[in-house]
Amino acid sequence: MKNLLVVFCLLLTSGPAFCADRFGRPVIKVSDEKAYQFVKLDDVEYPGLSNGNYDVTCLVYRGTERYYVEISIRNKTADPVVVPMDFVAFEKPGYTVYRTDTMDAAREAAAEGGIRFVPTPPPYVPPTTNTSINATATTYGNQTQISGNATTTTDNSGQAGANFGNAIGNAIAARRFYNQQRTDVLFSHYLAAHTQTGGDSPIQPGSSRVIVATFEQSKQKKKPFIVTVQIGTDKFSFSYKE
């Protein structure tokens, strides 16, 4: 895997994180904003913790089935640091949460990005009919004769209006669909670039790395949780609320 190094020349703020999304997935806020510093990237505020050895940020955003935990680590020590596969723990009291393969998530996002848009057909509006009669009555003694003709016309304006409204709705839906499709393609590339493997090289002194870990839980339930990042003997805990 090609490791992507990220230089932390980002704006550091002490303000609270605002509601945002990452690749169209809602960002989950930390429980206590005052406990973290925030790094702004792509209009999203990343909660961060630091000590003398490392700068760590941890952003969590959620899809329909999984959590995406985006972690950046900056090595401030004089030695290379190896990041083990079990460096991140996701704990939600009372629920089973397990780490999954980030590449599986990347493949799913790529597949969603390749789906074609299927427009919704318009509703059926039955036509209305109008019948007009043009007749003349002639009386002969005790008999009256009526002569004339009847004309029936069909009005399809209701269906035409439904077709027009449906076309507008499909145009709006298609634009949203393709915007989301593009986002999913970009997301799949991002996940693939930041998947952790056992063959990753150490983080060199002064360098940074971003890793995206994915987690799922056996029962879908929104509850507070904690993500703990451990590098050597240094631990960084991030508490979140849903």
CATH number belonging to the domain at 11-101+195-240, selected among 2.60.40.1150, 3.40.50.20, 1.10.357.10, 3.40.50.300: 2.60.40.1150
Backbone dihedral angles phi then psi of residue 85, each to the nearest 5 degrees? -65, -25
Residue with tokens 């790094």: 39
| All residues at 6 or more sequence positions from 9 whose CB lies less than 8 Å from its CB, including other chains | none
Is the pLDDT score of 8 beyond 50? no
Is the pLDDT score of 131 beyond 60? yes
Q: Is 129 or 232 the better-scoring residue by pLDDT?
A: 232
Tens digit of each residue's pLDDT (9 = 90 or more) over 217-231: 988 889 999 999 999
Backbone dihedral angles phi then psi of residue 153, each to the nearest 5 degrees? -120, 150
Q: How far apart (Å, rounded) are the C-alpha atoms in residues 108 and 240?
A: 26
Q: Could you tell me the pTM of the whole model?
A: 0.69
Tens digit of each residue's pLDDT (9 = 90 or more) over 142-190: 666 666 666 767 666 766 665 655 655 545 554 555 455 677 888 888 9
Tens digit of each residue's pLDDT (9 = 90 or more) over 27-84: 999 999 999 999 998 889 999 999 999 999 999 999 888 999 999 999 999 999 999 9
The domain segmentation of the chain, as residue ranges, is 11-101+195-240, 109-191
Half-sphere exposure in the Cβ direction for 19 (13 Å, CA): 2
